Structure 1
Amino acid sequence: MNEAQQLLHQAKWRIIDQTCLGPQFGALQSFGMDDTLCASVGTGAQPATARAWVHHNTVVLGIQDTKLPFLQDGLQYLEEQGYSYIVRNSGGLAVVLDEGVLNLTLALPEKEKGIEINRGYEAMWQLIKQMFADFMSKGHKIEAYEITESYCPGSYDLSIAGKKFAGISQRRLKNGVAVQIYLCVTGSGSERAELIKNFYEKSKKGESTKIKYPDISPDVMASLSELFGVNLTVADCLMRFLKSIQALGGQIYSGQLTEEEVPLFSDYYDRVVLRNQKMLTT
């Protein structure tokens, strides 16, 4: 068992399912949740926690996106397309969330030995390969390398045959690490990419910028349903996620925030909201 796999083998896993909360469940709440889980898991107050979540028509911007020269024009375009937007507190650039995108978080304790950043990414990659092992056995190899013409490109983009379907990020707080992934399960990956491509075009208008923003080619992105040639659903993938966690051998149980975590969440959520407002007004 390598070090990444060891991270997945926790004595206990608390499972928090937030995939069916509907449009009123905002993305800022998710980032407040993950900060809360980092803090409570990091201190040892709660066991490792796996969270699944879905948001409706939301573009999650990175901090660097707020430096775009014509950002307001880009944001207006997103609104016209029926999307809300927020700025997240973890790294990366703009990504699309909608009903066909399953987001997963693994909140892990760092304990005595810190979790090296690539180890966190590797652990999530291993879990995704386990979730879709049946498709991999049929020749659908899941690789991790940067898809430079995708939105939010990174060294741990997950792809099949050169088409990206997932991106991974991390958040670190108080001896806790939240490894987060979005999985494009259904719908058109290229249409999502087209939305972000147009956002950047309207936000840059051809101006040169100090920050390098992606030159997006929509045909390098796809959903798992498109890649596998089957009608996967978010619910199907959630079940695969739960079975993969269960197969790791530890105790798993369904839970929500504890009484001690609720005020923590309120505090972290307020911080995320304030930070978001500042980022979008400066």
Structure 2
Amino acid sequence: MNRDELLTLMPLNIEINTGEDPSNALHNILMDDEWAREVGREERFPTVRVWRHAPVQGLVVSKRDVAGAKGEEAMQVMAGLGWPIFVRPTGGTAVPHGAGVLNLSLLLPRTQEKVTTDAYYRLLCQPILDWFESMSLDATTGAVPGSYCDGNYNVLVDGLKLVGTAQAWRGGIAGTKSRHPGYVLAHACIMIDVDMVEATDVINRFYEEVGDDYRVDARTSTSLAQLLRLKRIEEAYDARTAQADFVRFLERYYSDANLDVQVR
């Protein structure tokens, strides 16, 4: 599917929302599921959420990562090290959490159309690729062995991972008449200004504590601020600035596709 075909998967009326809970890091993460359930019940417009983590550093992991006694012990150890663990509804392995991270979440209703997870990943990644292109960064998608939470739909610049993605489908066909109205949650985690060496060390320490041999390599990843500095495009770039820039870009991106866009 090309870009125009992908955008046909978007509802005609959407909301771009920067809503955040800066006081509760876990609730800020779980707002994706809360809002997505409302989308499935037709109580909220299909939503493109552009949000920052609460200003608390930590790791976001899947339920599988912290299952059992080892997981509970690891959470206590990591909290003592100043890197608390937050559990997300989607799968995958650990990713950094903190003020230097920007998130993009597509919260869309389940439909009757036969659509693959690949299509939704591409729908999620394409505006990010185009946003980076507008900054003169040559971005693509692909796997990077050794990177944190690796997958085929990482977003890469210069072969280094800059964005991780995940996806979850819940319930059946959306709508108020459905017994179990469903939704699609597609999520991207963009490293804006993160020390990836420190974050990688912390991820590896967490998996050591849970008794898992999984390890990641800091040389596989980068941040947007680092790339912009290296290319002499921008000397300082933080998540707040990135959020405002990305929202403006997305408003144009979706409006150019003839979607009715509200920004909140």
- TM-score, scaled relative to structure 1: 0.77
* CA deviation after TM superposition for structure 1 residue 73, in Å: 4.8
Q: Give the alignment partner of residue 261 of structure 2, picking from 233, 252, 261.
A: 252
Q: Distance in 1 between matches of 2:15 and 2:184?
A: 15
Q: Distance in 1 between matches of 2:86 and 2:132?
A: 31
User: Counterpart of 1:49?
Assistant: 47
Aligned residues of 2:165 and 2:186 also touching (Cα < 8 A): yes
Spell out, residue by residue over 1:141-181, the C-alpha distance to the aligned partner (whole angstroms, 9 max, x if none).
21211222112111111121222121111122233111111
* CA deviation after TM superposition for structure 1 residue 114, in Å: 4.2
1:127 is aligned with what amino acid?
P
SS in 2 for 1:3: helix
User: Counterpart of 2:208?
Assistant: 201
User: Counterpart of 1:265?
Assistant: none
Aligned residues of 1:186 and 1:232 also touching (Cα < 8 A): yes
Q: Percent identity among equivalent residues?
A: 22
SS in 1 for 2:9: helix
Aligned residues of 1:130 and 1:244 also touching (Cα < 8 A): no
- TM-score, scaled relative to structure 2: 0.81
* CA deviation after TM superposition for structure 1 residue 67, in Å: 4.5
1:15 is aligned with what amino acid?
I
Q: Structure 1: state its 5+ residue gaps.
A: 256-282
Q: Give the alignment partner of residue 242 of structure 1, picking from 242, 247, 253.
A: 247
Kindly report which structure 2 residues correspond to 1:1-282, keeping only aligned pairs within 5 A, or say none: 1-8=3-10, 10-19=11-20, 21-22=21-22, 24-31=23-30, 33-53=31-51, 54-55=53-54, 56-67=56-67, 70-135=70-135, 138=136, 140-173=137-170, 174-204=181-211, 214-229=214-229, 230=234, 231-247=236-252, 248-249=254-255, 250-255=259-264
| Superposition CA RMSD, Å | 2.3
SS in 1 for 2:8: helix
Aligned residues of 1:5 and 1:126 also touching (Cα < 8 A): no
Q: Structure 2: state its 5+ residue gaps.
A: 171-180
User: Counterpart of 1:270?
Assistant: none
Q: Distance in 2 between matches of 1:71 and 1:14?
A: 37
Aligned residues of 1:50 and 1:107 also touching (Cα < 8 A): yes
Aligned residues of 2:15 and 2:261 also touching (Cα < 8 A): yes
Aligned residues of 1:190 and 1:220 also touching (Cα < 8 A): no
Higher relative CO (Cα under 8 Å, sequence separation at least 6) belongs to 1
* CA deviation after TM superposition for structure 1 residue 78, in Å: 1.5
